[in-house]
Amino acid sequence: MRFDDQRQRMIEAQIMARGITDELVIKAFQRVKRECFVSEEWKNYAYKDHPMTIGHGQTISQPYIVALMMSLLKLTPDDKVLEIGTGSGYQTALLAEVVSEVYTIERIDTLMTQAKAVLKKNEYKNIYFKIGDGTLGWVNAIPQIDEFDKIIVSAGSPKAPENLIKQLKELGLMIIPQGDMQVQDLIIYEKKQGEVITRSEGRCVFVPLIGDGGWKE
């Protein structure tokens, strides 16, 4: 079966059938070729319903989980989004299809180099990259930006890093897997009149968020 056909079947069976109705998210999944973001040996499994290793103890997330997190963030074309954990760049590309600008941070330089190459090959021009501790957020980086409409964290943390909460705009949303190293809950953070409101959106399993505001190496 061709990748285009596999992609459409994945969208219908893994995403839409599970209740994801956000048209912007669905269209992004239709446009982004997941097979481009995995190694040659894994390409035939690119549209299976599970995460896949990308090396360095990291994974490319299950498509449904990525779609769910994006949908819960209520993304709009005007949003500026901070992504913690570039990984393979697959989620980065999906975000870039929907929002105005994506600011993405990866602590493993080899993964960032690979992701950056794929994203540039696919001619994304609204993505800004930083190598470093994602728990610190977009500090000492170019272009300079202090606050984001949305923040998406692609690794599990014992708590929400304070620096990320500070960088969330008023009425902004952040989604982060929060819990222990084995299992987490997807937690939504929302800023309203200076207060932070949280709610849980169910269980999940992610690799650990390493950094000053997460787990220590």
Residue-wise pLDDT tens for the chain (217 aa)?
A: 589 999 999 999 999 999 999 999 999 999 999 999 988 888 888 888 888 888 888 878 889 999 999 999 999 999 999 999 999 999 999 999 999 999 999 999 999 999 999 999 999 999 999 999 999 999 999 999 999 999 999 999 999 999 999 999 999 999 999 999 999 999 999 999 889 999 999 999 999 999 999 998 7
Predicted local confidence at residue 1, as pLDDT: 59
Predicted local confidence at residue 55, as pLDDT: 82
Contact at 8 Å (CB) between 50 and 70? no
Predicted local confidence at residue 133, as pLDDT: 97
**DSSP conformation letters of 28-71:** HHHHS-GGGGS-GGGGGGTTSSS-EEEETTEEEPPHHHHHHHHH
Predicted local confidence at residue 87, as pLDDT: 94
Catalytic residue among 61, 71, 88, 154: 61
Task: Give the pTM.
Answer: 0.95
Please give the CATH topology (third level) of the domain spanning 3-204: Rossmann fold (3.40.50)
- At residue 131, the 3 state secondary structure works out as strand
Predicted local confidence at residue 79, as pLDDT: 98
Predicted local confidence at residue 127, as pLDDT: 98
Instruction: Please state the domain extents for the chain.
Output: 3-204
Parallel, antiparallel, or unpaired for β 52-55 and 58-60?
antiparallel
| Rounded Cα distance, 157 and 207, in Å | 9
Assess whether 71 carries a catalytic annotation: no
